[in-house]
Structure 1
């Protein structure tokens, strides 16, 4: 099974939800777990470690290839990671009794790219999806069925205007895609780089509540 960190619900509830955290390229499961204590008390919070080791240390959900001067995604690895995450949810549900109709995905950077793709490929699995400092990768989305019912999903999308890693222009592609698919979404831009400032943080906590 994938390596993960767990915060159990802090308040008694018959139907706890699940918040799944997906970190970015070259990071690890400790990264987003640093604010697990601030997330809703009635949820299991699980931070996954990505499945591939990167050359510089840390982990990734899929390799990136910059050799051609462009940022190329290893689509096959990304698809495999998505399948691993879906399998993980099924396996971990046998261990922790969370409500399968109340699963939140929260991804940062590469984790956000994957979260958006995961939600659109498995729209009945997730409820809330937070995409922080990512972008909609067309290579991962080209097989999406436009006739799918996405009405269960709610998206929170945020990006820094001064992001040097993923340009704000890439993130702005979220809006037309969300509108075309008639998704329930809110999109925010902040005066920040490739990270989460206080305003962004409080907005995402409000969305989760």
Structure 2
């Protein structure tokens, strides 16, 4: 979006507006070609104390939406990632003050969005959950404040199947190294899950959010 036209995303909330103030916020970011409804089914398996907000990506594509071009496409760039995430960050600024904390959860490409938000403003997020996804190389872009994040060591849950057919090995290796270096990482592997989310994983995510966010309110 341009400076004069702020992004107004399509967002689904788990609580009516009158019940959101004073609650911790958990923002969900869907994957490639999905939409804001894709992850809202997770809400019933996550701690009820959270207000959950599921955000639609800005770019319509095929049957759904995308945050930015795929990394193997010629029009991918870190600048495209930054542009999308800056819009999300600006939107979050408009609602964050009514919540006790803000945490992030991203699936697949949505994990790249969540982790990039964390890297932009590390001090503003209580915890991040990444499911079957990846992080993007910063390539020296000033949007990323990784050294600041390294000092804070924000809790980060990363769940995946070692045989995930979608996220390739170079991205997995980069993601693993980056998460180990810059976050307080909880990594769990789920055999037979593929590129999806399992009930066992959701149980672990609920425990993680309860311990890292609700336990310190």
Q: What's the TM-score bracket when you normalise by the shorter of the two chains?
A: 0.7 to 0.9
Higher helix share: 2
CA distance in 1, matches of 2:93, 2:194: 35
Q: 105-114 vs 192-201, which deviates more?
A: 192-201
**1:33 maps to which residue?**
40
Cα gap change, 1:14 to 1:84, in 2 (>3 Å) = closer
CA distance in 1, matches of 2:69, 2:146: 28
Contact 2:46 2:205 in 1 (8 A): no
Q: CA deviation at 1:152?
A: 5.9
Cα gap change, 1:176 to 1:85, in 2 (>3 Å) = same
Cα gap change, 1:108 to 1:148, in 2 (>3 Å) = same
CA distance in 2, matches of 1:140, 1:43: 34
Q: CA deviation at 1:172?
A: 3.7
CA distance in 1, matches of 2:140, 2:54: 24
Q: Which deviations, in whole Å up to 9, do the C-alpha atoms of 1:110-160 show, x marking residues without a partner?
A: 100121121012101111100111112214676544531542611001111
Of 90, 94, 99, the residue aligned with 2:93 is 90
**1:75 maps to which residue?**
78
Q: CA deviation at 1:31?
A: 0.7
CA distance in 2, matches of 1:58, 1:116: 22
Contact 2:128 2:156 in 1 (8 A): yes
Q: CA deviation at 1:77?
A: 2.2
Q: Give the number of equivalent residue pairs.
A: 198
Q: TM-score, normalised by structure 2?
A: 0.81
Q: Partner of 1:164: helix, strand, or coil?
A: coil
Q: TM-score, normalised by structure 1?
A: 0.84
- Unaligned runs of at least 5 residues, structure 2: 1-7, 211-217
